Amino acid sequence: MKQEVLRTLRAILGREHLLTAEEDLACYSFDGSGGDILPQAVAFPDSTEQIAAILRLADKHRFPVIPRGAGSGMTGGAQPIHGGLVLVCSRMNRILEIDTDNLIAVTEPGVITGELQSALQKKGLMYPPDPASLKFCTLGGNAAECSGGPSAVKYGVTRDYIIGCEAVLPSGEIITTGVRTEKGVTGYDLTHLLIGSEGTLAVFTKLTLRLLPLPEAKQTFLLLFSAIEQATELVAEILQSGIMPCTLEYMDHTAISVVRKMLSVPLPDSTRALLLLEIDGSREKVEQQAGTLRKFLAPRPVTLQESTTEEERRQLWQARRSISPATFSIKPHKISEDVVVPRSKIPDLVHYTSRLALELELTILTFGHAGDGNIHVNIMIDKTDRQEYARGLEAKKNLFEQVLALGGTLSGEHGIGTTKAAFLPLEINPATMSIMQRIKHLFDPNNILNPGKIFPEESEQFADHLGDQR
Ligand SMILES: Cc1cc2nc3c(=O)[nH]c(=O)nc-3n(C[C@H](O)[C@H](O)[C@H](O)COP(=O)(O)OP(=O)(O)OC[C@H]3O[C@@H](n4cnc5c(N)ncnc54)[C@H](O)[C@@H]3O)c2cc1C
């Protein structure tokens, strides 16, 4: 990056909000999936106008700009793989408005998801999307990835709650999309085009969010199984039985073993899988649904435990949210996928991963949002063991092929980024890919905004694609 460009960036941001020292740049060379390519500079803008000025400059001088929230993304979306300027939204962290009459909030993109949720809870409101990373990820990152969480089975994902936004295009133009009303069909739905676009089309600077009243009551159940297929087969059955859980999470025995110490309730040694199920709503509704659940489970091979205190519930969720980082107690690296299959196919998928683990001599664990068929498959490896690493990559490719054969999709919430880009053509046909690439070109003709993400770059091949995590 030329000195002249750095001087202009300092003038836009203020000297203290632009980092260029190598040791500082190193902190922005990776995200939750790894990475080690340094950017040339890191900017911390404080306003839409600053972001617009930065993008105008980037477009003129043709340097990459990589939007970044908390850097917790699992697919390389915030990695500066072609160098350039990392644009961190952490200073734009204001909740601008909570409109309790119309159940709407307006926020900047750097607000931490969990902090918005705490502020809303105090007003008896909720913003449902609840990624396991909610204590540190940002709403801007959630919007860019269309993140989801355990509550998606009942409430849906980020896309269902962002009704409008302000965003800056790569040209520096500022657009406003969507509405702040319950309905609205004026013009193309650009809000939903931008959500899930992984920071490749525009930088979010304001988000308008739909809120819900906080449910009056919630009840938490642990369903313990002595065989894995008993758990996976029950998921679709539960959802057909008239029970509408607000979360239905699944853990296999390896996932359980890495967080076992954190669980307040002792589990029988025979536990091979569990489902964590919650019901929410009015007190009356929760009691009625809990009764239906107990009756439904009574004749089935499952041990039911009900969590009775708020502390027990908190610990259960802490354990659930800790699975991903805790897996590193098994191996130093992992290939972490968030595939989705139709719910009725979860048993086939889990069975397939067990077979793959045996055949390729790998530890593969499965857990995640079973209620919506979104299973996290973690292939544990030691990258310094080249043979094990190669087997891990083979497992990843086989997994994707199997998921698509089962009628599924490559990603439910983590996005494509760099780690799945080479595999996109497996799922998306050439005509569809072409229209997506033309949309990217229309928004960003000079390819300055987060280049190298989502679409496979020419050199990428399945066989040598690294796609590794951490
Ligand atoms: C332990 C752990 C658990 C997780 N659990 C879940 C889960 O349950 N569900 C889930 O969906 N994800 C989960 N994730 C993944 C991750 O937290 C989400 O993808 C999250 O939305 C990323 O937010 P972030 O602020 O960290 O974004 P970053 O990682 O900084 O960026 C992610 C993408 O968003 C883009 N971006 C960031 N800000 C903007 C902006 N203002 N405008 C435009 N683009 C922007 C970036 O360029 C990048 O492409 C988990 C991650 C970890 C480490």
pLDDT in tens, 396-420: 999 999 999 999 999 999 999 999 9
Cβ(73) to ligand 1 under 6 A? yes
Q: How far apart are CA 217 and CA 227, in angstroms?
A: 31
Cβ(164) to ligand 1 under 6 A? no
Cβ(327) to ligand 1 under 6 A? no
pLDDT at 464: 39
Name the residue of 74, 113, 133, 136 to mutate for ligand 1: max ligand atoms within 8 A of Cβ: 133
Atom of ligand 1 nearest to the CA of 325: 1
Strands 125-126 and 247-252 turn out to be unpaired
Atom of ligand 1 nearest to the CA of 198: 49
Domain 97-213 has CATH 3.10.330.20: no
Three-state SS annotation for the chain: CCHHHHHHHHHHHCHHHEECCHHHHHCCCCECCECCCCCCEEECCCCHHHHHHHHHHHHHHCCCEEEECCCCCCCCCCCCECECEEEECCCCCCEEEEECCCCEEEECCCCEHHHHHHHHHCCCEECCCCCCCCCCCEHHHHHHHCCCCCCHHHHCCHHHCEEEEEEECCCCCEEEEECCCCCCCCCCCHHHHHCCCCCCCCEEEEEEEECEECCCEEEEEEEEECCHHHHHHHHHHHHHCCCCCCEEEEEEHHHHHHHHHHCCCCCCCCCCEEEEEEEEECHHHHHHHHHHHHHHHCCCCCEEEEECCHHHHHHHHHHHHCHHHHHHHCCCEEEEEEEECCHHHHHHHHHHHHHHHHHHCCEEEEEEEHHHCEEEEEEEECCCCHHHHHHHHHHHHHHHHHHHHCCCECCCCCCCCCCCHHHHHHHCCHHHHHHHHHHHHHHCCCCCECCCCCCCCCCCCCCCCCCCEC
Take atom 34 of ligand 1 and give the residue whose Cα is closest: 141
- Spatial contact of 125 and 100, defined as CB atoms under 8 Å apart: yes
One-letter amino acid at 337 equals E
Name the residue of 47, 147, 336 to mutate for ligand 1: max ligand atoms within 8 A of Cβ: 147
Q: How far is the CA of 3 from the centre of ligand 1 (A)?
A: 32
Cβ(324) to ligand 1 under 6 A? yes
Cβ(392) to ligand 1 under 6 A? no
Contacts 24+ apart (CB under 8 A), 133-137: 133/32, 133/70, 133/72, 133/321, 136/70, 136/72, 136/112, 137/69, 137/70, 137/72, 137/112, 137/113
Which residues are CB-neighbours of 97 under 8 A, at least 6 positions away?
104, 105, 106
Cβ(75) to ligand 1 under 6 A? no
Q: How far apart are CA 412 and CA 444, in angstroms?
A: 26
Name the residue of 88, 112, 137, 157 to mutate for ligand 1: max ligand atoms within 8 A of Cβ: 137
Take atom 2 of ligand 1 and give the residue whose Cα is closest: 133
Cβ(72) to ligand 1 under 6 A? yes
The yes-or-no answer to whether 3-88 and 217-325 have a common fold is no
Q: How far is the CA of 131 from the centre of ligand 1 (A)?
A: 9
pTM recorded for the entire structure: 0.94
C-beta atoms surrounding 396 within 10 Å: 23
- Spatial contact of 257 and 195, defined as CB atoms under 8 Å apart: no
pLDDT at 462: 44
Cβ(77) to ligand 1 under 6 A? yes
Take atom 28 of ligand 1 and give the residue whose Cα is closest: 71
pLDDT at 317: 86
Q: How far is the CA of 77 from the centre of ligand 1 (A)?
A: 8
What are the φ/ψ torsions at residue 81 (nearest 5 degrees)? -65, -20
Name the CATH topology of 217-325. Answer: Alpha-Beta Plaits (3.30.70)
pLDDT at 413: 96
pLDDT at 172: 98
**Mean confidence (pLDDT) of the chain:** 94
pLDDT at 114: 98
Q: Which two tokens stand for residue 11?
A: 């003038």
Cβ(452) to ligand 1 under 6 A? no
Closest CA to 338 of 422, 394, 411: 411
Q: How far is the CA of 302 from the centre of ligand 1 (A)?
A: 35
The full length of the chain comes to 470
Cβ(67) to ligand 1 under 6 A? yes
Cβ(74) to ligand 1 under 6 A? yes
Atom of ligand 1 nearest to the CA of 110: 41
Q: How far is the CA of 229 from the centre of ligand 1 (A)?
A: 31
* CATH number among 3.30.530.20, 3.40.190.10, 3.30.70.2740, 1.20.1370.10, domain 331-443: 3.30.70.2740
Cβ(79) to ligand 1 under 6 A? no
pLDDT at 451: 97
Take atom 16 of ligand 1 and give the residue whose Cα is closest: 73
Q: How far is the CA of 145 from the centre of ligand 1 (A)?
A: 6
Closest CA to 414 of 78, 29, 118: 78
Task: Give me the residue label for tokens 């040694």.
Answer: 269
Q: How far apart are CA 350 and CA 372, in angstroms?
A: 14
Under-50 pLDDT residues of the chain: 461-470
369-386 as b/e, with b when 16 or more CB fall inside 10 Å? Answer: bbbbbbbbbbbbbebeee
Q: How far is the CA of 144 from the centre of ligand 1 (A)?
A: 7
Cβ(347) to ligand 1 under 6 A? no
- Spatial contact of 148 and 372, defined as CB atoms under 8 Å apart: yes
Q: Where are the domains of the chain?
A: 3-88, 97-213, 217-325, 331-443
Cβ(369) to ligand 1 under 6 A? no
Q: How far apart are CA 105 and CA 267, in angstroms?
A: 41
Q: How far is the CA of 134 from the centre of ligand 1 (A)?
A: 10
Q: How far apart are CA 201 and CA 197, in angstroms?
A: 6
Take atom 9 of ligand 1 and give the residue whose Cα is closest: 131
* CATH number among 3.40.190.10, 3.30.43.10, 3.40.920.10, 3.10.180.10, domain 3-88: 3.30.43.10
Closest CA to 193 of 143, 128, 131: 143
